[in-house]
Amino acid sequence: MSAETGNDTSLIEQAAKRLRQQQSAEPAPEPTPASASAATDAPSAAAEPQGARTPPTPQASPEDEDEDQDRGARVTIDLARLKAEGCVTPDGDRSRVAEEFRIIKRPLLENAFGRTALLVEQGNLIMVTSSLPGEGKTYTAVNLAMSIAMEMDKTVLLVDADVGRARVHKMLNIPMGPGLIDLMVDPSLDVGDVMLRTNIPKLRIIPMGKFHPHANELLASGDMQRLLHEMASRYEDRVILFDSPPLLVTSEAVVLSNLVGQIVFVVEAQRSLQHSVKDALGLLDASKPIGLVLNKTRHLGGDYYYGYGGYGLGGYGQGEERT
């Protein structure tokens, strides 16, 4: 090899050595946008990647929510028996009693949900009462609940609030409790725990539950007010119907009347004394809508007639005693 060639080789080796030294001293290249995106999108077991979006949870329909929240027992109401006793039933024929209760319910629903009329405050809370026992308030409450349950866009919750003489569970042949009183005294219970689901899809029932010596104080408590607010606001399309005690027998009915928006007052023809009716009506807030149902009035053909004063006409029932 010549001296010139050896010099060239030496120069090449020196240049290669300097190149290797420069490469070892240079920092690692920055990741490309593509590689940075891939690193961000890579799953991590410790935490969800920043900026990742989870799909929205499907919203349950009102029917699904009702099934979840009404955890009480499911009961079957004997509709054939009620129909035979002259009551309104969803599967019943078009009868006069059904037509009359349709007329009774219409102004109540208009006051609670109407779009053109001035809505009544808490109008979906409706109390059914009378001056004395045995005038037909429970019969009226049950039939009114059945009729409202036939509405296309409404549901109804029937609450037995007659804490001294509960009758709803007897008329419908359902368990007496747990119910309203248990809900008031047991903080571990929720409304759904005592709300009975029925074979009528849009009808729910809360029975009275066990007797309590301080029922009046329970109904007048702040807990009761909060409970009624929860019942009224849980579903916008729900009517809460209370079968309450008679006004002149116990003080619970007066307490309850101050919590509801509308009152249905049942009067038995040929039995209720005029002064009793006046005294009972005098206990109510006259600023609230109060409709009078005239019960057991003789009609042509011997049937008993139910008139609804102030809002229109009511329905009629058979001749047997009503409670």
Q: Predicted confidence band at 236 (pLDDT cuts at 50, 70, 90)? A: confident
Neighbours of 17 (CB within 10 A): 10
Residue 94, pLDDT score: 79
Lowest mean pLDDT among 19-23, 126-130, 137-141, 288-292: 19-23
Q: Is pLDDT of 86 > 70?
A: yes
Mean pLDDT of all residues in 2-27: 54
Mean pLDDT of all residues in 73-84: 94
Joined tokens for residue 295: 């019960």
- Contact between 97 and 317 under an 8 Å Cβ cutoff? The reply is yes
Instruction: For the domain made up of 79-317, give the CATH fold.
Output: Rossmann fold (3.40.50)
Helix (H, G, I), strand (E, B) or coil at 93: coil
Q: Is pLDDT of 320 > 60?
A: no
First vs last C-alpha separation in the chain = 129
Mean pLDDT rounded to a whole number for the chain: 77
Q: Is pLDDT of 22 > 80?
A: no
Residue 70, pLDDT score: 55
C-alpha torsion sign, points 107, 110, 112, 117: negative
Q: Is pLDDT of 18 > 80?
A: no
Q: Is pLDDT of 65 > 60?
A: no
Residue 2, pLDDT score: 47
* Residues 6 or more apart in contact with residue 100 via CB below 8 angstroms: 306, 308, 313, 314, 315, 316
Residue 91, pLDDT score: 84
Residue 135, pLDDT score: 92
Q: Is pLDDT of 129 > 90?
A: yes
Q: Is pLDDT of 269 > 70?
A: yes
Distant-in-sequence contacts of 181-188, Cβ < 8 A, 24+ apart: 181/208, 181/209, 181/210, 181/211, 181/212, 181/215, 181/218, 182/209, 182/210, 183/209, 183/227, 184/212, 184/218, 184/221, 184/223, 184/224, 184/227, 185/212, 185/218
More confident residue, 95 or 61: 95
Q: Is pLDDT of 109 > 90?
A: yes
